[in-house]
Homo-oligomer: A and B are copies of this chain.
Amino acid sequence: MLIVMERGASEEQIRTVTERVLALGLRPHPIPGAERMAIGITGNHGPLDPAEFEILPGVQQAIRVTKPYKLVSREVKANDTVVEVGPVPVGGKRLVVIAGPCAVESEAQTLAIARQVAEAGADLFRAGAFKPRTSPYSFQGLGLQGLKILERVRRETGLPIVTEAVDEESMEMVEDHADAVQIGARNMQNFSLLKRAGKSRLPVFLKRGMSATLDEFLMAAEYIVSEGNYRVFLCERGVRTFADHTRNTLDLAIVPAVKHLSHLPILVDPSHGTGRREKVVPLARAAVAVGADGIMVEVHNDPGKALSDGPQSILPGQFADLMRDLRALAGLVGREHG
């Protein structure tokens, strides 16, 4: 923490700050300047709140200089984490492709899509049995029946299953039937759910909240890891901005930013990130080019009839083409696939 005093701050104001720092068991380091005094603070073990000092008279600004997360930080663990989802490593040299429909709608539909994405080379299968929907009148998912269908998908295709949990109850069911549990964007700061995920035996796929900063995103991961579950992989899925030509604004620059600060893998979801089918394929390519550890993409065999998010799903044929593109791209960014 660095305290910047106002120009013309009095000796007494400076002393008050210094005493407050000492009272907190910390060490003040005065830095006199031409125009004003600054006071560095060291000795704190957790984060300090800038506002704690900004309320003192004569203080212009208090600036936090240490990042609040620890366990997910690359400073604590320098080399990349690889998370195993079933037998599939996420975060290593190999790109990971998670594919499937937005929601489990029926056994026939789910199995048909699963066979197609497996054949095209997907690594993990995704489909929601529990759907967080903006409207209470929209389809909310098949629940346990959906999870059983997903188990059948795994038996038939060999693909491990990633699926969302939205509360304690669904978390327990997902743990019994799937290979990784997804925490969705709307629950990125549902801290009770994060702590519960931190006690799960499953790896956790954590999506960025709609207006989460990089720090908040990593702190949400820290919640999970601090409970003992180190198997976390992240997902950028677009943030909310004024821009109205896509449903969200996909923030690809967060991929190198996460790689710089954290050892956790990060994937990109261009389906939710754009909300429009014709933008999914170009943004999926861009995600691999920017250095993501993989992508998650929605595939549906009849998007016009999909019970949720149909318009952002691509068709199996488009997915197969995309997989070919990604394999070629992978080599250019030091990755491999297939």
Contacts and interface: CB of A to CB of B under 8 A. Distances in A.
Contacts of A38: 2, 40, 42, 65
A257 B252 contact: no
Contacts of A278: 256, 260
A134 interface: yes
A239 B82 CA distance: 33
A329 interface: yes
Interface stretch (A43-51, A109-117, A118-126, A154-162): A43-51
A325 B192 CA distance: 40
Q: Of residues A31, A55, A213, A241, which shows the largest number of chain B Cβ atoms within 10 Å of its Cβ?
A: A31
Contacts of A54: 276, 311
Given A49-B311, A257-B279, A303-B55, A31 B35 contact: no
Given A2-B38, A6-B75, A137-B46, A256 B277 contact: no
Given A239-B249, A245-B213, A254-B245, A51 B283 contact: no
Contact of A240 (B211, B325, B329): B211
A55 B249 contact: no
A12 interface: no
A179 to B, nearest CB: 23
A133 interface: yes
Interface residues of A, number: 108
A222 interface: yes
Interface in A160-196: 166-170, 186-187, 189-193, 195
A109 to B, nearest CB: 17
Nearest to A51: B311
A246 interface: yes
Nearest to A252: B286
A245 B257 contact: yes
A55 B192 contact: no
A255 B282 contact: yes
Interface in A27-68: 29, 31-36, 38, 40, 42-43, 45-47, 49-52, 54-56, 61, 63, 65-66, 68
Contact of A288 (B211, B249, B289): B289
Closest 6 CB pairs of A and B: A51-B311, A33-B42, A211-B211, A289-B289, A167-B192, A31-B40
